[in-house]
Amino acid sequence: MKRIGLVSILIVALMGAPVAMTQAPAGAARVVAVKAGRVLDVRTGKYAANQIIWIEGERIKEIGDAAALESRLPKDARAVDLSSSTVLPGLIDCHTHLTMSPMSIGPAGLRMSYPRQALMGARNARVTLEAGFTTVRNVGGAGYADIALRDAINAGDVRGPRMQASGPPLSITGGHGDQNFLAPQWNAMTDGVADGVAGVTAKVRENIKFGADVIKFMATGGVLSEGDNPALAQYSEEEMKAIVDAAHGLGRKVAAHAHGALGIKFAVLAGVDSIEHGSFINDEDIRLMKEHGTYLVPTLYLSDWFMENYKALGLSEGIIAKARVVMPAARENVGHAFHEGVKAAFGTDAAVYPHGLNAHEFAVMVKLGLTPLQAIQSSTVNAADLLGWSDRVGTLEAGKFADLVAVDGDPLADVSLLENVKVVIKGGEIVKQ
């Protein structure tokens, strides 16, 4: 009986073997075929009509004429019909604050714990992704909440864009990144505060120790802080150089918050990779940035939303007075920088206004002198270059992540179409349809 049972098991196993051989191997990459009415080459501004984007797993395998590729696709490929749409790469925002919101600006943020900021960030990450931004650089998160969010997205626990995260931005004592809303008896100091060459070097290393992909520091005062002047430099030239040297030496790029012209100059000469905001940028700054290849990350749309809604935020009259000076100056001076050919990478400062409205930045950039293609390039090829991720995002090409968005109409004729993307795909997965 035992022998008969063993023979039966062997027969069943052998009968099942041919079936198993014809099945896809366990863990095989899923195949998606996106049929696009037209695909925008963001480098050249040219469209290719009737294309198929062949996706295997997270990456693009091939892009080509639909008639030529259809017969070669696997039979089990999932079809996504975007034949009436314009498809372009997933958008990139180089200046976000996902773990913050307009209602946490100023003194209101004192009541928000780091865990609460991280959980709020999960919501903001989803909204940002659904708005078409499949990659972001988060430049400033208290308590390393943004790094926790990045790790949760990478682990698949939370839906959101690919992230580079900075952790707490470096600031001088009493500077834009310090806690200026409490009375002296509280002895409050923000976790990014560092002074002197030794202090800033140690803080850069600490941020990297706890997972920072990029280093952010405050080169000048800011608008949404008390008691500082956005036009004035804060860190010294030596301190800025120490920050950049420490970060670059450990393989991290550096972003400098800088409104004032002197702070911009010091930061560029120190070797930063990008100037954030650039509100009072002047001709000398522009010349230096072009010589050094430094990116400008303007954040322009926020002034529209802020000036319409600041009364609901409970901010002091001092902050409002600064906004009334800095925000109009930024538009004038950044427009001049665009005209002079400074390299621009797309950034929004989302959190000063609600997340998900990021794409409103495009229309302002065009209003200030960029062509629609240049504005789109700032959020694709340029942004990918600034992040050091040109090998994985920024264009639709074989081998890169299958991150793409689709819109109805022609964004080269009307860039505001990007404010309402129809479909978002990240890593071959449809996240909005």
Torsion of CA 304, 310, 312, 314, to 10 degrees: 160
- The residue-averaged pLDDT of 162-181 equals 94
pLDDT band at 28 (very low <50, low <70, confident <90, very high): low
Average pLDDT, whole number, for the chain? 92
Q: What is the pLDDT of residue 50?
A: 98
- Look at residues 47, 67, 46, 86 and name the one whose alpha carbon lies nearest to residue 404: 86
Could you please state the CATH topology (level 3) that the domain comprising 91-387 is classified under.
TIM Barrel (3.20.20)
Give Cβ neighbours of residue 84 (< 8 Å, ≥ 6 apart).
37, 408
CATH 2.30.40.10 residue ranges of the chain are 31-90+395-432
Q: Give CA–CA dist 248/253, Å, rounded.
A: 6
The secondary structure of 99-139 as a DSSP string is: T--GGGSGGGGGG--HHHHHHHHHHHHHHHHHTTEEEEEE-
With a cut of 80, say whether residue 59 has pLDDT above it.
yes
Q: Give CA–CA dist 329/334, Å, rounded.
A: 8
Could you please state the CATH topology (level 3) that the domain comprising 31-90+395-432 is classified under.
Urease, subunit C; domain 1 (2.30.40)
251-309 pLDDT, tens digit each: 999 999 999 999 999 999 999 999 999 999 999 999 999 999 999 999 999 999 999 99
384-403 pLDDT, tens digit each: 999 999 999 999 999 999 99
Percent of the chain with pLDDT over 90: 86
CATH 3.20.20.140 residue ranges of the chain are 91-387
φ and ψ at residue 431, rounded to 5 degrees: -110, -10
With a cut of 90, say whether residue 110 has pLDDT above it.
no
Q: Which two tokens stand for residue 193?
A: 């505060």
Give Cβ neighbours of residue 73 (< 8 Å, ≥ 6 apart).
31, 33, 52, 54
